[in-house]
Amino acid sequence: MNEMSASLPETALPHIVTVGRHRIGRVLERIAVGLSRQARVEHISASFDTAVDAVLALHARTPIDALVVAGASGAWIRERVDIPVAMIEVRGFDLLGALARARLLSPRVGLVTFDGPSDLLAQFDAQFGVGIAQFSYHGPEDAHSCVQSMLAAGVGAVVAPGLVADLAEEAGMASVLLYSDAAVLQALNEALALARHRQSERTRHQRLETILGQLQDGVVAVDCDQRIQALNPTMAALLGTPAKQLHGRALGAVAPQLDMAATLLHRESSEEVVQLAMRTQVVRRAPIVENGVLTGALLVCRDPLVIQNADRHLRANQRQRGSGVRWRIDDYGGDSPAVVRLRALARQCAGSDATVLIMGESGTGKELVAQGIHRASRRAAQPFLAVNCAALGESLLESELFGYEEGAFTGARRGGKTGLIEAAHTGTLFLDEIGDMPLALQSRLLRVLQEREVLRVGSTTPVPVDVRVIAATHADLGAQVDKGLFRRDLYYRLAVLRLATPALRERATSDVAQLAQALLQRRLKAANAHAPDAVQARNAAVAHTLLTTVLQRAVAYPWPGNVRELENWTERLLACQNYVCDAQGGVDAARLLEVFPECAEPVPLAAPDNAPAAALPLKDTRHRAEQQRVREVLASVGGDQRQACDILGISRATLWRRMKG
C-alpha cells in the first residue's frame, strides 16, 4: 500500500487497485506513487483467474472503487468483476514510439496485441517497408506459443504487453513494453475519476439506507428492470429474506403482488391494498424520474393500523386544541330572560380565571356554555379538554385525569401517560357530571385546585400546572354535601362562579321554535349536501312546515330530555317526513301522531293520594311528569332502556335516576 496523505483519514480516500504482473506491474507501482495524496492505491501482482480471485477477496474486505488493468488479462478481469475498470489503452503515438525504439534494436520487429492484428498497421508496413510482423495472444496458455512463433519468423525485437515481453527476453529477443508511462498515467487518472464517482454513489447509497432504516414503513427502490437497488429492514422482513440477498433480484419475482411493471410502463403513481406475508398492507407505487428520465420506481408498504392510529391521534390532538372548540357563548340560542341573563353572566365569567360551576339538567347545554366561556377567554388558543366523570370507573378516571408513570400498575403504557390535567396546561379542563366523581378522587382534585400541581399515579414528583377548571353537574351538590356524598371544601372551591342552564320547559315557546329551526337547518344542510338546489329547496320547505305543525301540537310538552330531545325530534322528523307528508306537502294527522305520539295529548300529572295536580309544588309536578314520560317511552319500546334513552335524549344514569324516583 502506498503512503497516505496526512490531511485525510485513509477511509476518506477513494480505493484504487492496480492489477498486473511482470513489467507492466512494476510500471503501475512506480507511477501510482504520484496519486498517494489523492487515493488509496494497492497493487495486485497477478493475472487472469488468479487476479480475479485476488480482486474479489480484497473487495469483500474493503470495497474497491476502481481497477486499473491492461491487455488480455485486463479484459479477462473486466468481464468477471462488477467494479469500474480503467483499461490502459495503446494510442497511435505511443505505438509508433515503441515501434521506433524496437526498430533500433532489430530490423525485424514483432508487435503483439491481445485483440488481433491491425489492418491499418499492416497497410502502413506494406507502404513504408518498416518490417513489422503482427502477432496476438488471448491468455497465458498461448503466450509461449506466441513467442515461439516470433522466433520462427526471425523477429529480433518485440513490442508486447508485460507477460510476452518478459518471455521474449528469456527467449533471447529484445523487448519494448507496449504501454507508455503516459498511457499508464492516463489510465490511473481515469480510475481516480471513476473511483470518486463510485465513492460518492456509495456514500449516497449508505445515507439512503440509513434514512430508510429509520422508517417504520417498508420501502424498496428498483431500477427500470425491477431489480432491487435499495430497501430497508422493514421491507426485508416483509419479504422474508435478508436484505443482502435481495439486492439485484427482480422485485416481481420475489413478491408477484408487488410487481412494478405497470408503474414503470405508465409512469403513474398508484395505491392499493395487498396481502403480503399474511399481513394486510397499503401499498403505494411511484415512478422515479430524474431530469426527465425514468430511472426506476419506489414502493412503500404501510400497515393499515399505523394509518388508523395516526388518524386517531391527529383527530384527538386537533380536538384538544382551542381551535377544536365548536361553540361560542352566542350559540346558546334563545330570547328568554333566563337565556339572556345566562349569556351575559357567561361573558363575565370568561374574563376571569376563577373556577366555574355550571348547574342544569341533562341536555340543557352545559358543555356548550363551557366551550363558549373558554373561547371568549384569554385561554382560547390553548387546549380545551373534556371528561365525563360519570362515564369512567374510579381507577380509569384517575389515570385519565392524573396520568401515571411507567410501571405504576400492571398494563401501564411504556413511558407512562400524561393525564388530562397536565395536557390541559395553560388551557381549560371541563369536568362534566362532577357530582358523580368518587370521593377518593375528589380529594386529589382539590389538591390540584389548591396547589396548582398534579401528581401522576406512581410518581413522587408533582408537576406544576396552569389550568382553569369548569365543572358541570345535573345534581344538587349542596344536598350531596349534606348527605356526605360530595366534599364540602371541593364544592366551595368549584363554585366560585356559578351558572344555571334553564330547562327547555322553563323557556318561552319562541325559544323552543327558534332552537328547533336552527337544529333542523343544520340537519338539512348535512342531509342534502349533494342534492340539486331544487330538491334541497323542496325538502327544506316541507321539513319546516312539518316542524311548525309538530311544535304547535307539542306546545304543552314538558321536554324531559331538553334540547337533546328536541334535536332527536328534528332528526326523526327528517327521517319520516315523506311518510307523514303527501306529495303536495300536506300533513297526514294520523301518521303524524304515529311518528310523534308525544303530541297526542298533554302528559297527565298523577298526584299522590288523588290530590289535584295543581296542588302539587312545581318541582314535584315536573318530577312526576318526567317519570310519566319515562314510563310511556319504556312501554312503547318494550322496556328497551337504550332505545328509550335515544328517544328521550338522556343518558342511562339519568334514565335510571328518573325510574328510581
Instruction: List, for residues 546-582, the tens digit of each pLDDT value.
Output: 888 888 888 888 888 899 899 999 898 888 888 888 7
pLDDT reported for residue 368: 94
Higher-pLDDT residue of 630 and 63 is 63
CA distance 660 to 335: 34
C-alpha angle 5-6-11 in degrees, rounded to nearest 5: 65
Query: Cell 401499498 identifies what position?
Result: 283
Give 655's pLDDT tier (boundaries 50, 70, 90): confident
Q: Which of the 8 DSSP states describes residue 80?
A: T
Amino acid at 535: V
The helix/strand/coil state of 289 is strand
DSSP characters over 168-195 = HHHTT-EEEESS-HHHHHHHHHHHHHHH
Beta bridge partners of 18: 43, 68
Beta bridge partners of 270: 285
User: Which range among 170-179, 312-321, 388-397, 597-606 shows the weakest confidence by mean pLDDT?
Assistant: 312-321
User: Which range among 31-35, 375-379, 549-553 shows the weakest confidence by mean pLDDT?
Assistant: 549-553
Give 323's pLDDT tier (boundaries 50, 70, 90): very low
User: What would the mean pLDDT of 419-437 be, rounded to a whole number?
Assistant: 90
User: What would the mean pLDDT of 436-450 be, rounded to a whole number?
Assistant: 89
In this prediction, what percent of the chain has a pLDDT beyond 90?
Answer: 29
Amino acid at 606: A
CA distance 412 to 401: 15
The helix/strand/coil state of 325 is coil
pLDDT reported for residue 502: 93
User: Which range among 159-168, 333-342, 475-484 shows the weakest confidence by mean pLDDT?
Assistant: 159-168
In whole angstroms, how far apart are CA 386 and each of 29, 444, 640? 79, 18, 29
Give 75's pLDDT tier (boundaries 50, 70, 90): confident
Residue 138 pLDDT exceeds 70: yes
Q: What is the dihedral of CA 442, 446, 449, 455, to 10 degrees?
A: -80
In whole angstroms, how far apart are CA 334 and each of 301, 369, 623? 54, 13, 24
User: What would the mean pLDDT of 207-217 be, rounded to a whole number?
Assistant: 78
CA distance 64 to 318: 53
Contact call for residues 201 and 268 (beta carbons, < 8 A): no
CA distance 550 to 488: 45
Query: Which pairing describes strands 384-388 and 356-359: parallel, antiparallel, or unpaired?
Result: unpaired
User: What would the mean pLDDT of 356-370 be, rounded to a whole number?
Assistant: 93
Residue 345 pLDDT exceeds 60: yes
The helix/strand/coil state of 507 is coil
Element (H, E) at 30: helix 22-32
The C-alpha cell that represents 353 in the structure block: 380565571
Question: Residue 366: is it exposed, middle or buried by C-beta count within 10 angstroms (0-12/13-18/19+)?
Answer: buried
Query: Which pairing describes strands 218-222 and 270-276: parallel, antiparallel, or unpaired?
Result: unpaired
Contact call for residues 68 and 17 (beta carbons, < 8 A): yes
User: What would the mean pLDDT of 213-241 be, rounded to a whole number?
Assistant: 88
In whole angstroms, how far apart are CA 510 and each of 485, 513, 659? 39, 5, 30
Read off φ and ψ for residue 291, nearest 5 degrees.
55, 40
Q: Who contacts 500 (Cβ-Cβ below 8 Å, separation ≥6)?
A: 342, 358, 359, 360
pLDDT reported for residue 481: 92
pLDDT reported for residue 66: 93
68: left (phi over 0), alpha (psi -120 to 50) or beta: beta
Which parts of 287-389 fold into alpha helices (H)?
304-320, 337-350, 366-375
Higher-pLDDT residue of 405 and 149 is 149
Residue 621 pLDDT exceeds 60: no
User: What would the mean pLDDT of 184-193 be, rounded to a whole number?
Assistant: 92
Q: Who contacts 385 (Cβ-Cβ below 8 Å, separation ≥6)?
A: 320, 420, 423, 424, 427, 428, 429, 430
C-alpha angle 365-546-588 in degrees, rounded to nearest 5: 135
The helix/strand/coil state of 153 is coil
The helix/strand/coil state of 216 is coil
Q: What is the 3-state secondary structure (H, E, C) of 550-613?
A: HHHHCCCCCCCCHHHHHHHHHHHHHHHHHHHECCCCCECHHHHHHHCHHHCCCCCCCCHHHCCH
Contact call for residues 430 and 377 (beta carbons, < 8 A): no
Q: Which long-range contacts (CB under 8 A, 24 or more apart) does 282-291 make?
A: 282/307, 283/258, 285/260, 287/263, 288/221
Q: Who contacts 181 (Cβ-Cβ below 8 Å, separation ≥6)?
A: 27, 31
What is the average pLDDT value for the chain, to the nearest integer? Answer: 83
Q: Who contacts 381 (Cβ-Cβ below 8 Å, separation ≥6)?
A: 322, 323
The helix/strand/coil state of 489 is helix
Residue 237 pLDDT exceeds 60: yes
CA distance 39 to 111: 34
In whole angstroms, how far apart are CA 266 and each of 229, 256, 655? 21, 18, 62
Which parts of 220-303 fold into alpha helices (H)?
233-239, 243-246, 251-254, 261-266
Higher-pLDDT residue of 454 and 613 is 454
Contact call for residues 5 and 36 (beta carbons, < 8 A): yes
C-alpha angle 161-166-171 in degrees, rounded to nearest 5: 125
- Greatest CA separation for the chain: 148
User: What would the mean pLDDT of 77-82 be, rounded to a whole number?
Assistant: 91
CA distance 564 to 504: 10
The helix/strand/coil state of 246 is helix
